[in-house]
Amino acid sequence: MMSRFTRRSAIAGAGALAGSLLLRKPMLGTGAPAAPVAVAGCRSYGPELVTTLDRMFDQLGGLGRIVKGKTVAMKVNLTGLPNDRLGRLPCGLSHWTHSSVIGAVVHLMGKAGAQRIRILESPWKSTDPIEEFLLQAGWEPLDLLNAAPRVEFENTNYLGAGKQYVRLTTPRGGHIFRAFDLNHSYQDCDVFVSVAKLKEHVTTGVTLSMKNCFGITPCTIYGDNAPVDAPGLVPQGGRGVLHSGERQPSKSAPPENDPASPRDPGYRVPAIVADLVAARPIDLAIIDGIRTQTKGETPGVEGAIPVAPGVLIAGINCVSTDAVGAAVMGFDPMADRGRAPFERCDSTLRLAEELGVGSRDLSRIEVLGTPIARVRFNFRKPLAAANPA
């Protein structure tokens, strides 16, 4: 079934794949849209957080313009398990979107007139309510549920409260998948928000607002051990179907465009992320860079250390927002395979740009608030830049 959302037009230049991998079919077009991005220094998750985010949303034209009277679906980043910790740090100070950021965004959306807010995530191998997942991490779910009227959680790793999966199609057929079958929450909303963490990623170089959406795919269909013919009732394993492509999704969902394409995760995952954000456009991207970690996306990454960039980033175009995020991290958003942070993978920024989602060219992106140079934090030389308190 087709999504009811209006798709952004597919545009942008030809895409070349560096290294020894096969070339993708070029995407033809005239240029992807750019949008302003708000940047602000913010050193803590205390009272300044709400006022800082409020000011950033005003710089973007006001949160009411985006959410008033609407149902909002908000994908947060709670990757891994609640007991995965970097040393003794709480998850929100290393690799999870901090609970205070989630609560502040929910509060401001309620204040701006949002009619309904769904907080979405796909907990690892579980059909338990997200509330149970949060309690295991020492969070109080009621803090988030009471931050605004009509707030609810939805575990989107399976069918959940819906009666059937919804199919969202990718403009121009996509790089890897022409469409995805997802939990109903990603269609039953007026506004889709990605609230991500400012992090590097082993497979995609960086994980920001776009890579956060890799987790919207249900493991009942795209999991390692998902049934072949139809969706399973319980999520089975990780998303090996997407990472390594050792098999196709359940036959109920559209297969890959080309099952003979490279199986390299550095080729597949960035392309699938681009396909996902083209199929389910992000209306508001928010990146928590107050406290995070280096080296990769989870505490298990060798050499990861906690850092405190002290920055928040927000924008209405996910590619432009992630381009600014990459620049804040000390990277060139125009880089591609072979250059940091994409030494072993393709650039999700380029691939999404090719599908017409948005522009990664900083010369076309208006940065509002704090200049990038004032908050730049070199993730490859973090000790020379700053350390967390």
- 231-256 residue pLDDT tens: 999 998 889 999 999 999 999 999 99
Residue 12: count of CB within 10 angstroms of its CB: 25
Q: Please state, rounded to an integer, the average pLDDT across all residues of the chain.
A: 91
Number of domains in the chain: 1
Per-residue pLDDT at 234: 92
Q: Give me the residue label for tokens 């790089």.
A: 175
Yes or no: say if 213 and 194 are a contact pair by the CB < 8 Å rule.
Answer: yes
Q: How far apart are CA 296 and CA 293, in angstroms?
A: 7
Q: How far apart are CA 90 and CA 3, in angstroms?
A: 38
Model confidence at 348: pLDDT above 70: yes
Per-residue pLDDT at 291: 98
Residue 189: count of CB within 10 angstroms of its CB: 21
In a domain, 136, yes or no: yes
Model confidence at 20: pLDDT above 80: no
Model confidence at 344: pLDDT above 70: yes
Per-residue pLDDT at 124: 81
Domain that holds residue 179: 37-385
In a domain, 134, yes or no: yes
In a domain, 5, yes or no: no
Per-residue pLDDT at 30: 44
In a domain, 30, yes or no: no
Model confidence at 198: pLDDT above 60: yes
Chain centre distance of CA 218: 15
Per-residue pLDDT at 1: 34
Least confident range from 7-21, 156-170, 299-313: namely: 7-21
In a domain, 26, yes or no: no
In a domain, 173, yes or no: yes
Under DSSP, the state recorded for 250 is P
In a domain, 28, yes or no: no
Model confidence at 19: pLDDT above 70: no
- CA distances, 365 to each of 311, 321, 341, 350 (Å): 18, 9, 20, 15
pLDDT tens-digit readout, 155-183: 999 999 999 999 999 999 999 999 999 99
Question: Is pTM, for the whole model, over 0.85?
Answer: yes
In a domain, 1, yes or no: no
Least confident range from 85-94, 278-287, 376-385: namely: 376-385
Facing residues of 41 across strands? 311
Per-residue pLDDT at 17: 31
DSSP H/E element including 284 = strand 284-289
Return phi, psi of residue 313, to 5°: -135, 140
Model confidence at 4: pLDDT above 60: no
